[in-house]
Amino acid sequence: MELEKAVNLNSGSIDEAALAAKITSVLQLKTACTVKALDLPATAAHPASIMLIVRHGGPLSSVHDHRDDGRRGTIYYRPPNEATLIYTPAIRQIEVCADSPVVRQGVAGSFADEALGHDVSQKPLTWKRYNLSRFRSSLRLDLPRISGYEITDARVLEAEIRLGSWSRKLLLKVAADDDIEEVADRYLKPNNIFRRADGFSRVGIAVTYNRIGDGKVRTLNITISGSKSCNLQSNKDPDERNLGFALLDAWGILSAFKQIEPTDLRGIFPQLVMLHDRTEDDVSGEYLRELGLDPDRMIQGGLLDRRGRQDIVLIDDDDLGGEAEVKPSGIEGMSRVVGAFGKDGGLRPTSDLEMYEINREWLHETVVGLLKPMLNKLAAQVLDADLSMLGSMRIDGADVPIYFARRLHDLKTISRLDQLMRARNAAGVGIVLSAGTDGPGYLGPNLVVPVSGCMSTGADDLLLSRDALELAYRTNRSLARGGATPQVLRSGTQSATLHIPGKTSLALTGADQITIFERLVAAEKAGSPDVHVKPLMDGLGSRSPQQAFRPKTWDSIRDVYIGAGTKRGYWRLLVKAQPAEDVAEASVEEPV
């Protein structure tokens, strides 16, 4: 990222304590951080710089602890995290390395504000990205007007493209007096591979110019590699660096990071949640258009990265069903789809065929940050790649844990998260906010509430309705604790929840698991709890209940929800709560 003006200072002039306090406040850290500033001397390759090492506590984590008395507890801790910042006054550049994009932005903004006097609220720092897709339509460059300079020539001398994957590349390099587009058309034919490129990995540009009032002819070489790297960053001449960035901006290659305003983020919150719920990280322009999201704005905001363009698409058509190839159409903004045996599939907007990659970390931080205002206490903790603890809400005089989960449409995710949440039953009944609408009604001792079902209609900063969450909690709290009678409640054809009085709810995934427990519950209610394995497994894809569950899940439910009957070959539903002495020997989660 870059500053508008340079500020010369050394490590001794930085108030480390004040900067540490600023970072702690901006990042909302629960524990204080430390800052250490060091001077980096100039080298032949890089100007003099200042390096800051910021050490801070990471998200709350936990490990199991086996006590001396044989009981199992939980030790909570914050892992030591570190962020490194390098400020180079000569090139007005701040570089930050940290695990989280939120930490990177927070540390950079705090340093610019506290140490350099740069008001990030009025003049945000610029984060540069490079978009090389414009070279698909033409490898020629115009001569823009740049104040203080006269541009006499600008041409592409080399272009490297991907052929389906990063492991296959094609490089075309020409002499300084060659027209690279003419060479490509002559030797690679018109409508050549550069016009259908999956993505440009490298472009080299040569610029000839002179400064106004100076007759000396000068040259500037610009090399862009991918979307984040450009040799201008290491150019020691600030005038040349500024000229290069001005040219890239005029050609539509350079785009600066612009954080999306909170008001705009709240307006697209439902779409961001749907995007976050996707299983795949890649998303097409067509999908984004259907959601009503602007890809360019999402890229500027750091939520997406460009990946390239589809060259094969699936066609849902009786006459043209299956895969079809994407080819140029000769019409600006449109591509032609060609099916098997050269059958014409018509035109499609080229923007729909563009592919983007979701920046998962930044999107997660954005969605979670928008949910925080409704919480009374913040206690951010990443429990799983698909589950995070946010904090708690005050309901009926009690602190109710609030979680955020995604991908609950996936049966493996449901099983994994349910097992994790049942191990955390000491926290009591909580609320799991689900990014999607499909999935179970409960995860362990927690009720699941889809975010889309409790959106607030008010004009305040609260995106979710407190009243809706409180009503859902009061209505479903008893079932989360097991309910009054054993029952299996379906939430779809492949998902259900087992409720047994006095026990944590159990999520069931797949038809076999659901059918097994429905039969056991029916037998319990009929007064004959023991069921022989043959009628129990009749018509199912496995021969014993154990085969219907993953090993870890089976180990966690055997002798807790299901157990052997009084006779060999029989199974029964376990409806009695474990005695206190048995609970002490079981896998009980207790904070230590």
Residue that the structure tokens 């999107």 belong to: 363
Are the CB atoms for 437 and 453 separated by under 8 Å?
Answer: yes
4 or 293: which leads in pLDDT: 293
Mean pLDDT for 241-252 is: 90
**What tokens appear for 471 in the block?**
């009503």
Cα 310 off chain centre by? 22
Mean pLDDT for 465-488 is: 90
Which alpha helices (DSSP H) does 115-198 contain, by range?
A: 180-188
Mean pLDDT for 135-147 is: 88
276-280, 315-319, 500-504: least confident range: 315-319
CA–CA separation, 418 and 439 (whole Å): 12
| Structure confidence by residue, pLDDT tens digits, 538-549 | 999 888 999 999
| Structure confidence by residue, pLDDT tens digits, 320-354 | 557 777 777 767 778 888 877 677 777 888 888 88
Q: Tell whether the torsion through CA atoms of 180, 181, 182 and 187 is positive or negative.
A: positive
pLDDT of residue 508: 94
Q: How many CA atoms lie within 13 A of 168 on its CB side?
A: 5
Q: How far is CA 404 from CA 224, 371, 387, 482, 519, in A?
A: 39, 9, 6, 22, 33
pLDDT of residue 591: 35
pLDDT of residue 156: 94
| Structure confidence by residue, pLDDT tens digits, 43-65 | 876 788 999 999 998 877 777 78
Q: Tell whether the torsion through CA atoms of 256, 262, 266 and 270 is positive or negative.
A: positive
φ, ψ for residue 128 (rounded to 5)?
A: -95, 140
pLDDT of residue 91: 74
Confidence of residue 120 (pLDDT cuts 50, 70, 90): low
Average pLDDT of the chain is 84
59 or 86: which leads in pLDDT: 86
Cβ-in-10-Å burial (0-12, 13-18, 19+) of 171 comes to exposed
pLDDT of residue 578 exceeding 60, the answer is no
pLDDT of residue 144 exceeding 80, the answer is yes
The CA-based dihedral angle spanning residues 328, 329, 334, 340, taken in that order and rounded to the nearest 10 degrees: -70
33-42, 82-91, 580-589: least confident range: 580-589
Confidence of residue 590 (pLDDT cuts 50, 70, 90): very low
CB count in 10 Å sphere of residue 473: 21
Give the rounded percent of residues in the chain with a pLDDT score beyond 70. 90
Cα 235 off chain centre by? 33
* 406: CB partners within 8 A, 6+ apart: 276, 277, 386, 434, 435, 436
pLDDT of residue 127 exceeding 80, the answer is no
pLDDT of residue 137: 79
pLDDT of residue 592 exceeding 50, the answer is no
Beta strand pairing call for 218-225 and 199-211: antiparallel
pLDDT of residue 166: 62
> Order of strands, edge to edge, in the sheet holding 377-384?
377-384, 387-395, 398-405, 430-434, 446-450, 442-443
Beta strands in 470-512, from DSSP E residues, in sequence order:
487-490, 495-499, 506-509
pLDDT of residue 106: 86
**What tokens appear for 107 in the block?**
């540390």
Residue that the structure tokens 């299996």 belong to: 488
pLDDT of residue 194 exceeding 80, the answer is no
| Structure confidence by residue, pLDDT tens digits, 383-430 | 899 999 999 999 988 899 999 999 999 999 999 999 999 887 777 899
pLDDT of residue 584 exceeding 50, the answer is no
pTM of the model: 0.69
Q: What is the DSSP letter of 592?
A: -
> Order of strands, edge to edge, in the sheet holding 506-509?
487-490, 495-499, 506-509
Confidence of residue 580 (pLDDT cuts 50, 70, 90): very low
Q: How far is CA 38 from CA 2, 12, 23, 51, 105, in A?
A: 20, 8, 18, 5, 20
Q: Which of 502, 540, 500 is nearest to 524 (CA)?
A: 500
Q: How far is CA 385 from CA 29, 362, 370, 380, in A?
A: 21, 14, 19, 14
pLDDT of residue 79: 85
* Coil vs helix vs strand at 17: helix
Q: Tell whether the torsion through CA atoms of 110, 113, 114 and 116 is positive or negative.
A: positive
| Structure confidence by residue, pLDDT tens digits, 439-460 | 899 998 999 999 998 988 765 6
CA–CA separation, 491 and 493 (whole Å): 7
pLDDT of residue 223 exceeding 80, the answer is yes
| Ranges 452-456, 514-518, 585-589, most confident | 514-518
Q: Which contacts (CB < 8 Å, 24+ apart) does range 289-297 have?
A: 289/351, 289/352, 292/268, 293/268, 295/351, 295/354, 295/356, 296/255, 297/260
Q: What is the DSSP letter of 455?
A: B
pLDDT of residue 589 exceeding 60, the answer is no
Q: How many CA atoms lie within 13 A of 532 on its CB side?
A: 3
pLDDT of residue 3: 59
Q: Which contacts (CB < 8 Å, 24+ apart) does range 258-264 have?
A: 258/124, 258/300, 258/301, 259/105, 259/124, 259/301, 259/302, 260/297, 260/300, 260/301, 260/303, 262/370
